[in-house]
């Protein structure tokens, strides 16, 4: 790096700020194909798909609270020497001391679940063990479950329709649908099943509101699971008229039911997986804390970012002559405002950016010599645009989905050992900027994608035969 070249962290922050100016959601949500990765199978006890399901389940359970702070991510590392499975967990951090309390809670919660899994044996068909695992899951995740059920407010403090009201509205809408569609046999069966089970859930809601005990919460989650298993609810809800129940309410209810039901599904999946794979009975939680040096920052006082110089840098890379004024007109923003927003965001990124949990895990694994390194990493949410871009470039580990949203307060760990990779990523970001500018000039307007649902569920195998 020449004396006049900005530090890599500065170039990255500039690239991110410029991309964010162009669009906060650069791409729509997407799935990451596994075919493009060199998936390693030799030596592993778990198949790649089994590892992905396990990591996705553990990541889901690691979501102990709502909100944007200290979001966890998980991967698993097979240890052939001790015949055990290390569950690596990290949380988003801006500084080394962040997230200690949540990591402690995750360690305690997972240790309780893993202790129960250690008692599973081959061919074990004891539902009591599965129920105990379920109880441990409810205990660990109770705050998040109550938030999902809308008994407590979420981090946005926005008023949300209680689960009971949503179910009552759905029952009324289904009744109206039945009167409109007549005796459609299959739909009538689904409608009747939904109505009966939804009424049961409402009773369980009332019971929990009267006696707010862990046992009542377990019963309620079980009831939601039975409701969710009632069959083809998406088909039923698509038939409901917007006049009787709005699309947002239908979507919210389906989302709530699916995610609350997942806690029971997770208990069953972990129990059955432990029956099939002795390795899963020997899981150990490993909280990841990168060294303090990884959080080193470039002093913002030493740097004055400008939009013009950054666009000039991109121009020189690709032999272009993009004009800042023309770009701003197409973005429908004044050049002064765009320049101010760019400069403020660049400095904020340098000052406050977090190392996302997936990136911490990736760097930890990259610097650690492992015979059987993790093949899948999952956060409690789908990967953000920048995490997904870096993981894709890295090419050694899979993350299932990307929600497409760009978080400008994002950074890489400082590591001289991985400097070349950081240079590659800066070039990749510059390439994305070039593509975005090309599209902007071609369409002559900003490309806007709607804010995505950042949290989706991986499909779990449910048949014993698939485990």
Taking the CA atoms of residue 351, residue 356, residue 362 and residue 364 in that order, the dihedral angle to the nearest 10 degrees is 60
| The pLDDT of residue 329 | 96
| The pLDDT of residue 434 | 96
pLDDT band at 158 (very low <50, low <70, confident <90, very high): low
User: Could you read off the pLDDT of 47-59 as tens digits, one per residue?
Assistant: 999 999 999 999 9
- From 75-89, 146-160, 194-208, 343-357, the region with the lowest mean pLDDT: 146-160
| The pLDDT of residue 467 | 47
Is the pLDDT at 302 greater than 90? The verdict is: no
User: Could you read off the pLDDT of 400-454 as tens digits, one per residue?
Assistant: 999 999 999 999 999 888 899 999 999 999 999 999 999 999 999 988 888 888 8
| The pLDDT of residue 462 | 54
Other C-beta atoms closer than 10 Å to the C-beta of 290 total 20
Other C-beta atoms closer than 10 Å to the C-beta of 369 total 6
User: Could you read off the pLDDT of 238-279 as tens digits, one per residue?
Assistant: 889 899 999 999 999 999 999 999 999 999 999 999 999 999
93: β partners: 355
Is the pLDDT at 313 greater than 50? The verdict is: yes
Is residue 421 within 8 Å of residue 348, measured between CB atoms?
no
| The pLDDT of residue 283 | 97
User: What is the average per-residue pLDDT within 77-98?
Assistant: 94
Instruction: Tell me the average pLDDT of the chain.
Output: 91
Residue 304 has phi, psi (to 5 degrees) of: -125, 95
| Alpha carbons 141 and 146: distance in angstroms, whole number | 9
User: Could you read off the pLDDT of 162-204 as tens digits, one per residue?
Assistant: 899 999 999 999 988 877 766 567 788 888 899 999 999 999 9
85: β partners: 78, 283
| The pLDDT of residue 251 | 92
User: What is the average per-residue pLDDT within 352-368?
Assistant: 94
Is residue 43 within 8 Å of residue 80, measured between CB atoms?
yes
Cα Rg of the chain, angstroms: 25
Say what percent of the chain tops pLDDT 90: 73
| Alpha carbons 132 and 145: distance in angstroms, whole number | 17
Is the pLDDT at 461 greater than 90? The verdict is: no
pTM (predicted TM-score): 0.93
- Domains observed in the chain: 1-37+292-462 (no CATH), 152-276 (1.20.120)
Q: Which residue has the higher pLDDT, 293 or 418?
A: 293
User: Could you read off the pLDDT of 377-387 as tens digits, one per residue?
Assistant: 999 999 999 99
Written as six digits, the tokens of 426 are 């800066």
Taking the CA atoms of residue 208, residue 214, residue 218 and residue 219 in that order, the dihedral angle to the nearest 10 degrees is -40
| Alpha carbons 168 and 59: distance in angstroms, whole number | 32
**Residues present in the chain in total:** 467
Written as six digits, the tokens of 315 are 């121009």
Number of helices (H), then strands (E), in the chain? 15, 6
| Alpha carbons 356 and 117: distance in angstroms, whole number | 29
Strand order in the sheet with 283-287: 283-287, 84-91, 72-79, 378-379
| Alpha carbons 14 and 16: distance in angstroms, whole number | 5
pLDDT band at 69 (very low <50, low <70, confident <90, very high): confident
pLDDT band at 157 (very low <50, low <70, confident <90, very high): low
Burial of 292 by CB count in 10 Å (0-12 exposed, 13-18 middle, 19+ buried)?
exposed
- From 23-32, 96-105, 446-455, the region with the lowest mean pLDDT: 446-455
User: What is the average per-residue pLDDT within 343-365?
Assistant: 96
| The pLDDT of residue 39 | 73
Residue 159 zone, left/alpha/beta (φ > 0; ψ -120 to 50; rest): beta
| The pLDDT of residue 465 | 33
Measured CA to CA in angstroms, residue 67 lies from 55, 93, 254, 399 at distances of: 21, 14, 21, 21
- From 29-38, 151-160, 185-194, 440-449, the region with the lowest mean pLDDT: 151-160
DSSP assignment letter at 374 = -
Is residue 75 within 8 Å of residue 378, measured between CB atoms?
yes
């Amino acid at each position: 790096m020449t004396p006049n070249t900005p530090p890599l962290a500065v170039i990255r922050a500039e690239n991110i700020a410029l991309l964010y100016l162009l669009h906060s959601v650069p791409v729509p949500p997407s799935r990451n194909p596994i075919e493009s990765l060199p998936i390693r199978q030799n030596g592993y006890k778990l198949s790649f798909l089994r590892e992905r399901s396990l990591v996705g389940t553990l990541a889901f359970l690691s979501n102990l609270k709502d909100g944007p702070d200290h979001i966890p991510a998980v991967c698993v590392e097979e240890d052939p020497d001790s015949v055990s499975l290390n569950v690596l967990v990290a949380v988003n951090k801006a500084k080394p001391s962040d997230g200690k309390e949540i990591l402690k809670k995750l360690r305690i919660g997972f240790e309780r679940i893993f202790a129960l899994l250690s008692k599973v044996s081959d061919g074990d068909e004891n539902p009591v063990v599965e129920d105990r695992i379920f109880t441990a899951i409810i205990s660990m995740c109770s705050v998040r479950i109550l938030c999902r059920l809308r008994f407590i407010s979420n981090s946005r403090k926005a008023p949300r329709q209680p689960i009971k009201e949503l179910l009552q509205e759905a029952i009324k809408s289904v009744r109206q649908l039945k009167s409109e569609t007549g005796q459609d046999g299959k739909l009538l069966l689904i409608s009747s099943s939904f109505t009966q089970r939804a009424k049961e859930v409402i009773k369980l809601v009332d019971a929990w509101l009267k006696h707010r005990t862990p046992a009542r919460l377990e019963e309620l989650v079980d009831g939601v699971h039975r409701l969710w298993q009632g069959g083809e609810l998406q088909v039923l809800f698509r038939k409901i008229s917007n006049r009787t129940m709005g699309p947002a309410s239908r979507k919210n209810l389906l989302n709530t039911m699916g995610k609350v039901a997942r806690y029971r599904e997770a208990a069953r999946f972990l129990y059955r997986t432990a029956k099939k794979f002795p390795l899963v009975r020997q899981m150990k939680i490993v909280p990841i804390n990168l060294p303090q040096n990884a959080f080193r920052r470039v002093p913002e006082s030493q740097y004055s970012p400008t939009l013009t110089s950054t666009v000039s840098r991109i121009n020189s890379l690709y032999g272009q002559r993009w004009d800042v004024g023309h770009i701003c007109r197409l973005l429908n923003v004044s050049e002064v405002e765009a320049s101010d927003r760019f400069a403020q965001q660049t400095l904020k990124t340098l000052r406050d950016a977090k190392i996302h949990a997936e990136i911490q895990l990736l760097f930890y694994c990259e610097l650690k010599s492992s015979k059987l390194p993790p093949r899948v990493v999952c956060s409690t949410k789908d990967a953000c645009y920048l995490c997904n871009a870096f993981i894709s470039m890295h090419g050694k580990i899979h993350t299932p989905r990307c929600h497409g949203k760009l978080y400008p307060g994002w950074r890489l760990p400082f590591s001289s050992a991985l400097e070349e990779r950081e240079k590659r990523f800066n070039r990749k970001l510059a390439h994305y900027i070039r593509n975005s500018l090309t599209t902007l000039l071609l369409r002559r307007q900003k490309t806007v994608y709607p804010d995505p649902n950042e949290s989706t569920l991986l499909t779990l195998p449910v048949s014993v035969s698939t485990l």
